[in-house]
Amino acid sequence: MSEIIRYGAYLPRYRAPLKDIQSFYGRPGRPRSKSLCTPALDEDTLTMAYEAAVGALAGAPAPGTVITVSQSPPFGLRKLSATLARTLGLDDAVPLDVGGHPGALLDALEIAGSLAGEGDPPVLVVVSDHLVSIDERVCDMLSAGAAAAFLVGASGGFARLGTTARASREVYDVWRLGTEAEARYRLEVLFDAYGSTTKQALAGLATATERATADYASVCASQPHPQTLRGLGKAGVGADQLEHTSFVGEIGNLGAASVGVALALGLDRAQPGEHLIALGYGGGEAIAQDIEVTAAPHGTGAAEQIAGEAIDLSTYYRWTRGRQAEPH
């Protein structure tokens, strides 16, 4: 059984005013998030991945494989993992890219567990995302960016990666055609599919582990929208289990990095002997994984990064206008 040896998280420091953005585009109603965690002009998924990875690698053995997860790599026809590995000075590491959907971090952790056998070097898994939406669409997509990194090995860690359960439906809630730069979405489909598949996955995990969902210390979930988290109550998740791992209502939708940042927040507060659930969702598929904390985590201070520094509407517009079409 594989273990998390170290981990790191990075949230850009700037917070864009969603209420002002919503007013600017004539979108009445209460904002779905207080602000958006907005990468600066010199930040993208590569630079955020680097910052998170540095935290995960501090004082740790060098990985033999680097796996990156992103829906928004800064360039096409190249491997984000290879560029990141070179940037980190890991020229001999095998680079692997994993895409697909916002829950793909859990796919990458499963791959890492199969690669990190006893006596093998650990595997670095980094998730980084900033799924850009433009104009008034950002008011619904809540586009924000962040990264998280996890060093996975066969032993020497503080948390065991345990049983995984999956459930899926063929739906189109958030998707992008191959020739398009921006995501399409249908929020009503997202809310329905998220609720039904996460409930199934959590029930499957409870059956496999013989541990009720309510018995976990916290649930670290993908959170594309505040309403999706509210719907988890129907699956047996208590408000106290989300209290310290939810952030979408504060800083927006972090895309694939959402479950990674939530897991970092959960691990930061975890105590030896507790179990957490990592709950990924995307494209109609939910993945629930049991994580057993066996020793005190070193901590990342992820919670302290949430507040950030406010920027005004004009700065946000200047930084993001056209970003989905061409790099800044």
Q: What is the pLDDT of residue 328?
A: 37
Q: What is the pLDDT of residue 101?
A: 87
Asked whether residue 319 is domain-assigned, the answer is no
Q: What is the pLDDT of residue 178?
A: 79
pTM greater than 0.85 (yes/no): yes
- Residues of the domain holding 240: 159-293
Residues 153 and 163 in one domain: no
Residues 146 and 136 in one domain: yes
Asked whether residue 273 is domain-assigned, the answer is yes
Q: What is the pLDDT of residue 135?
A: 80
Residues 21 and 147 in one domain: yes
Asked whether residue 318 is domain-assigned, the answer is no
Please report the sign of the dihedral spanned by the C-alpha atoms of residue 221, residue 222, residue 227, residue 232: negative
Residues 61 and 82 in one domain: yes
Residues 130 and 9 in one domain: yes
Average pLDDT, the chain: 94
Report how many domains make up the chain.
Answer: 2
The enclosing domain of 122 has a CATH number of 3.40.47.10
Lowest pLDDT segment from 164-168, 178-182, 284-288:
178-182
Asked whether residue 244 is domain-assigned, the answer is yes
Q: Does position 143 have pLDDT exceeding 90, yes or no?
A: yes
Which element (helix H / strand E) includes 288? strand 285-293
CA distance 223 to 217: 18
Residues 19 and 76 in one domain: yes
Residues 134 and 105 in one domain: yes
Instruction: List, for residues 87-108, the tens digit of each pLDDT value.
Output: 999 999 999 999 878 999 999 9
Q: What is the pLDDT of residue 201?
A: 98
Residues 185 and 142 in one domain: no
Residues 7 and 108 in one domain: yes
Residues 177-188, mean pLDDT to the nearest whole number: 85
Q: How many CA atoms lie within 13 A of 61 on its CB side?
A: 17
CA distance 165 to 251: 29
Asked whether residue 299 is domain-assigned, the answer is no
Q: Where are the alpha helices (DSSP H) in the chain?
A: 18-24, 45-57, 80-87, 104-115, 138-141, 187-209, 226-230, 239-242, 248-251, 257-269, 313-320
Instruction: List, for residues 203-236, the tens digit of each pLDDT value.
Output: 999 999 999 999 999 999 999 999 999 999 999 9
Residues 146 and 169 in one domain: no
